[in-house]
Amino acid sequence: MAKGFNSRGFGGMGGGMNMNMMKQVQKMQQDMAKMQEELATKTYTAAAGGGVVTAEVNGQHQLLNLTIDPEAVDPEDVEMLQDMVVAAVNEAMRTAEADAASSMKSLTGGLGLGF
């Protein structure tokens, strides 16, 4: 028999250790699926231009609502309005992404799995 191997597996680890590890992985997968469902139902709101443009996105990074104060509509300066819309949407998306990353990090216990 090769060095480091025996009838119970690699390096003397019993089958119980492997089964326990598998149960932990399965629980983590279930917890991750549940967390992804919860994140999908959350909404995140951000504003730009002092609140004249507000964007709301969900945890699936879909734009749900965009509110533009009529005072922000200046036919002479459409570019500024466009910039505010982009800024509000991007900030709401960043907030959703940060919340998802934080939730996944708390679930994985900082295992460094790339979340």
**H or E segment at 9?**
strand 9-10
pLDDT in tens, 8-26: 555 555 555 688 888 888 8
Per-residue pLDDT of the chain (115 residues; tens, 9 = 90+): 455 555 555 555 555 568 888 888 888 888 888 888 888 889 999 999 999 999 999 988 899 999 999 988 999 999 999 999 999 999 999 999 999 888 888 877 755 555 4
The pLDDT assigned to 15 comes to 53
Sequence-ordered alpha helix ranges (H) in the chain: 15-41, 78-108
Supply the pLDDT for residue 107. Answer: 76
- Identify the bridge partners of residue 48 per DSSP, sorted by sequence position: 53
* Domains of the chain and CATH, by start: 15-107 (3.30.1310.10)
pLDDT at residue 79, rounded to an integer: 94
Alpha-carbon distances of 45 from 11, 86, 100, 106, 109, rounded to whole Å: 52, 13, 15, 23, 28
Give the global pTM.
Answer: 0.67
